[in-house]
Amino acid sequence: MICEDKEVLASMIEEARTYTGYGQLADYIPALREADPSVLSLAIYDGGETCAAVGNVDETFTLQSISKVLSLALALMDQGEEEVFSRVGMEPTGDPFNSIIKLETNQPNKPLNPMINAGALAVTSMISGETPDHKLGRLLTFIHELTGNPEIRYDEKVAESELKTAHLNRSLSYFMKQHGVFDDDVEDLLDLYTKQCAIEVSCQDLAKIGYVIANEGKHVFSKRPIIPLHIARILKTFMVTCGMYNASGEFAIRVGIPAKSGVSGGIMASIPHGLGIGIYGPALDDRGNSIAGMKLLESLSHRYDLSIF
């Protein structure tokens, strides 16, 4: 069993760590520049009492784009598929995550998918709640349930740092508001979105969320559905087609596991009917994925035959 292979996992992480020197920290959100680029951690959860974890396992980090999977789950539960997909598409894009180009050229002007920033902003606008705080509270409660960790909060410093510099996300939002994708107050929406992205987790938390998504959305112990089955399937499908930015195709070939990464260096992976994996390595490759995290997932997939294809 992979979770018992602690020594092998520890040696795989040290091998992958050698790649951290070839990556860069995300710097467009100033607070993310403070991370230590040599950090690498891995957690694997198989639904048991404990979660196997190796590397710098005490490090916490912000979800960033990984939160897009969770806001999508909540919006789909709140509004239903028809409403959500009337405002955001289902197609992958070969463009970077914050690109504006297809918003203008695509007709109607709705974002191509919920994993790029434009799509995620539209999805966040569909989370139900009377106030932005209420919506954020609902998202946090959902994450507490998925992880079994009620301590999870958002990192105020990272949220504030992103909000101050989120000019591109502001532009995307104003463009979408003009084209009727949503009608929210843009500053309120950005405030909520940056707090959502700044939710702080450990790699063990990520592995547990990945496990629930992998296993049909069911609560680990009670088996009660936290996410309806058809929505858990939609999440995994977007993770395969759009989860690793504009490297998703290559990742599907080399690794073959539904996964979502974030610019903080986190990666959450879900092996259908199997393991949940959480990785943190803040040094990124040129597409915004954890450089050592990608190597680690590739070696894990080969060694344990984890590809779903």
Q: Are 284 and 47 contacting, i.e. CB atoms less than 8 angstroms apart?
A: no
Residues in 5-44 that interact with ligand GLU by CB under 6 A: none
Q: Should residue 125 be labelled a site residue for ligand GLU when binding is judged by CB under 6 A?
A: no
Pairing of strands 266-270, 276-280: antiparallel
Quote the DSSP letter at residue 77.
H
Of the pair 254, 287, the CB lying nearest ligand GLU is at 287
Distance set, CA 53 to CA 13, 20, 123, 247, 284 (Å): 10, 19, 32, 26, 21
CB of 288 to ligand GLU, least distance (A): 6
Q: Which of 41, 45, 68, 173 is catalytic?
A: 68
Q: Should residue 132 be labelled a site residue for ligand GLU when binding is judged by CB under 6 A?
A: no
Is 261 part of the annotated catalytic residue set? Answer: no
CB of 132 to ligand GLU, least distance (A): 16
Is 68 part of the annotated catalytic residue set? Answer: yes
In this structure, how many other beta carbons lie within 10 angstroms of the beta carbon of residue 79? 17
Alpha helix (H) residue ranges in the chain: 6-17, 67-79, 81-87, 101-105, 117-124, 132-147, 156-165, 167-178, 186-197, 203-214, 229-242, 248-254, 291-304
Quick check: helix, strand or coil at residue 298? helix
Of the pair 67, 215, the CB lying nearest ligand GLU is at 67
CA 40 – CA 299 distance, rounded (Å): 15
In this structure, how many other beta carbons lie within 10 angstroms of the beta carbon of residue 71? 25
Residues in 78-97 that interact with ligand GLU by CB under 6 A: 97
List 20, 41, 64, 113, residue binding ligand GLU (CB under 6 A) = 64
Of the pair 41, 71, the CB lying nearest ligand GLU is at 71
Of the pair 52, 197, the CB lying nearest ligand GLU is at 197
Alpha helix (H) residue ranges in 18-131: 67-79, 81-87, 101-105, 117-124
CB of 162 to ligand GLU, least distance (A): 5
Q: Should residue 117 be labelled a site residue for ligand GLU when binding is judged by CB under 6 A?
A: yes
Q: Should residue 248 be labelled a site residue for ligand GLU when binding is judged by CB under 6 A?
A: no
Q: Which of 19, 154, 211, 245 is catalytic?
A: 245
Q: Should residue 171 be labelled a site residue for ligand GLU when binding is judged by CB under 6 A?
A: no
Q: Should residue 98 be labelled a site residue for ligand GLU when binding is judged by CB under 6 A?
A: yes
Element (H, E) at 269: strand 266-270
Q: Which residue has the tokens 């048991």?
A: 48
Q: Should residue 263 be labelled a site residue for ligand GLU when binding is judged by CB under 6 A?
A: yes
Of the pair 23, 288, the CB lying nearest ligand GLU is at 288
Is 211 part of the annotated catalytic residue set? Answer: no
Of the pair 216, 285, the CB lying nearest ligand GLU is at 285
CA 285 – CA 282 distance, rounded (Å): 10
In this structure, how many other beta carbons lie within 10 angstroms of the beta carbon of residue 77? 17
Q: Should residue 246 be labelled a site residue for ligand GLU when binding is judged by CB under 6 A?
A: no
Q: Provide the binding-site residues for ligand GLU, judged by CB under 6 A.
A: 64-65, 97-98, 117, 162, 169, 197, 262-263, 288
